[in-house]
Amino acid sequence: MAEYMIDYEDISKFEVREDDVYLLTYPKSGTTWFKEILPCVLNGGNIDAIKDIPPDAKVPYLELVLSDTELNTKLKEALLVSRDFDMDKMTPPRILSSHLYYEQLPKQVETKKAKVIYIARNPKDVAVSNYHHLKVLPFHSDSKSFDEYLDHFYEGKYDFYNISWKTHVMQAWEHKHMDNVFFIKYEDVRKDFNGTITKLSEFLGVKLDTAAIQRIADHCNIENMRRNPLARKANFLENFKIDPGANPFVRKGKVGGWKDVFTVAQNERFDKMYEKWMEGSDLHFEFE
């Protein structure tokens, strides 16, 4: 297991600003995509103002910046986040990201009503994307078959975090009624990208005209993201000697990619687990 340390106490006590925006996701649910989308929206569609800033400097991970292990320092370097990066010096409104559970966010998020944007993705595509992501990371030493990986996924074990997809999504879903929480499914974003940008701008209190919405949609199109060296995190791939063709940060991004990987037996087993997870919930996902 890689030595990726999370300082839960420092995160809990983190000083929140009322105009903060927190991007919360289970890994491989559209994080990199939204690290490009949200700054574009908050800048009123002024792409030039933010296009040359690395995504993890625009929208830093709380758990990465607030920990200083050797691996965390190497990760910051590879993600083009300065070693002495200071979130207190970020220009407001800050956008901060995390893969932690909703209830592990800084305590002041609720008391100060900072905005939380949660992206949920269907678990089959999440599992496939995570599997491909982890197997190319050189500091992830435990190589598993996809069948073995699924066992860990069912048990709520994600290397570096040990978080359950079910718990992660359900905690956020339970807070969806709050005025400061914006819950959206990845599949809905793919269906109506321009409409999503409009809804995000309304939630964030930013006025965007049709031209600005289209500029953001064009700049953040998945194909453009795949060609963008900063979005693909080319420096990270080079630093850790990862084949650029693997493209672990902006892979296919499509809905239903799991069908190219799952066997019939794996799919049947997953469906049973999914039914158990979602029992009694009014939350539903599209899988293709």
- What amino acid occupies position 78? A
132 is catalytic: no
d(CA 77, CA 172): 31
Sequence letter at residue 89: K
**Residue of 99, 132, 168, 219 with catalytic role:** 99
Is residue 65 classed as helix, strand or coil in its secondary structure? helix
Q: What's the CA gap between 32 and 180, in Å, rounded?
A: 22
- H/E segment holding residue 25: strand 21-25
**Pick from 178, 3, 165, 155: nearest CA to 74:** 3
Q: Indicate the residue type of 144.
A: K
Please answer whether residues 149 and 131 qualify as being in contact, where contact means their C-beta atoms are separated by less than 8 angstroms: yes
Q: Which of 179, 204, 167 is nearest to 34 (CA)?
A: 204
Torsion of CA 173, 99, 248, 151, to 10 degrees: -70
- Alpha-helical segments (H) within the chain: 8-12, 31-42, 55-58, 62-65, 70-78, 108-111, 123-135, 146-154, 165-173, 186-191, 193-204, 210-219, 222-227, 234-239, 264-278
Q: Please state, in angstroms and rounded to a whole number, the distance separating the CA atoms of residues 123 and 271.
A: 10
Which residues are tagged catalytic?
99
